[in-house]
Structure 1
Amino acid sequence: MARTRRAKATRVWFWRWRHNALRRHSDVVEARIVLATWILALLGGTLLGQAAAEGLDHSLADRRTAAHAVTAVLTEDASKIPPVTTGFDDGKVWAKVRWTTTDGVTHTARTKVDPDASTGTRVTVWVDGSGALVAEPATATEAELEVVGTGLFVGSGTGSMVLAGGWLVRRRLLSRRLVEWDAEWKRVGPQWRDLSGGKG
């Protein structure tokens, strides 16, 4: 039994950039759109991702510089405080603590402590330059992971939006090309039927 070989389609790379009889002006425009889209996606995504990462890195560094740890004393029994049932549950409760800054001013505020902590227990809290309670700043490792993640997120998001915009432009170009082809076929089709003797 004879085996029939199926012809393989040959891919022609960069055909829109080459001079040939089948290339139209819209093909050249589409090629330039594709090139511009990829350049903007890669370059814009890289630059914006890097800018976002550097901005966050500076912000986190400023927070680490501005905040410092002090020892506070728990002024109430944490075991008598009902647990928080809303928000992020880390197994701790909000209790009142008291601390004194280096200038001798005493401050009180609520912070999260272990639920079994008793009155007088010493806990570490973070304060700013004015002595006000602030959130614990991220460690160097946590900050690095957050900075890298932010850079990748912003960079990939920017690149994706640019590629989506380029795809939409190409879709509109394709729709316009199909309309032009339809109009040209209506003009040329009757001539082909005349040449073939009116058949088809």
Structure 2
Amino acid sequence: MRRATGRDGNPLRRPLDRSRARLGWVLLLLAVLAVALPTAVAAALYRSDRHAADEQAAHRHRITATTLTGAPAGGAWVPSTGEWPVLARWQYPAGQVRTAAVPVEAGTARGAPVTVWVDDSGDPAAPPRSTADITTGAVLAGLAVLTCTGLVCGTVRTVGRRRIEIRTAAAWEREWEQVEPRWSGRSRSS
């Protein structure tokens, strides 16, 4: 382990070699984090959203309502969802009549039965989140964290290697200034 980290006392190992070894260990640690962190974030988000959806599903109810108006069959202008808001009537909780605008498919006739999601008080509500939506959100969050950790790893590697290379070039230059006069036969003063 001491050799791998550059702390083995080898007299031939230069300080820059030790820096390269330390950078390698930092990059290995960041790579482990780049895998573990997104997985942990995705799992935590999935559990949290699944719990929230289960709580929400306990207070959302799917009932049948009757439309009081019809929806246009389509034409030149159709909402992006493909659904039109129309008035509908339902009874929920038991015996309490409610009327509100609910989205229905284009072409739904007046008096047609439609499915409506309501909360405990009978007011219209969005349906509970599906497992597919929750999973997609968790996977996208994990991928976002993976991308960020990948960028951090790449930046650390690039900056670290660049700094080491600059120091290496400077060290070679200093050593060459000492060796070149002896090698070429020229003196420093010429």
Instruction: Give the TM interval when normalised to the shorter protein.
Output: 0.7 to 0.9
Q: Which amino acid aligns with 2:24?
A: A
Q: CA RMSD in A?
A: 2.6
Q: Equivalents in 1 of 2:132, 2:66: separation in Å?
A: 33
Residues paired across the two proteins, number: 179
In the superposition, the TM-score normalised over structure 1's length comes to 0.76
Name the CA shift for 1:17/1:197 in 2 (closer, same or farther; >3 Å): same
Displacement, 1:84? Answer: 5.4
| 1:181-200 → structure 2 map (5 Å cutoff) | 181-198=168-185
Partner of 1:63: 56
Q: Equivalents in 2 of 1:156, 1:80: separation in Å?
A: 41
Q: Equivalents in 2 of 1:135, 1:119: separation in Å?
A: 23
CA deviation map 1:76-105 (0-9, x unaligned)? 13248977544x332x32111111223433
Name the CA shift for 1:81/1:119 in 2 (closer, same or farther; >3 Å): farther
Partner of 2:112: 121
Displacement, 1:53? Answer: 0.9
In the superposition, the TM-score normalised over structure 2's length comes to 0.79
% of aligned pairs identical?
22
| 1:108-187 → structure 2 map (5 Å cutoff) | 108-138=99-129, 143-187=130-174
2:63 and 2:117 in contact (8 A); partners too: yes
2:23 and 2:157 in contact (8 A); partners too: yes
1:89 aligns with 2:76: no
Displacement, 1:27? Answer: 0.9
Which stretches of structure 1, 4 residues or longer, exceed 4 Å deviation after superposition? 15-20, 80-84
Structure 1 gaps, min length 5: 1-14
Q: Which amino acid aligns with 1:179?
A: I
Structure 2 gaps, min length 5: none
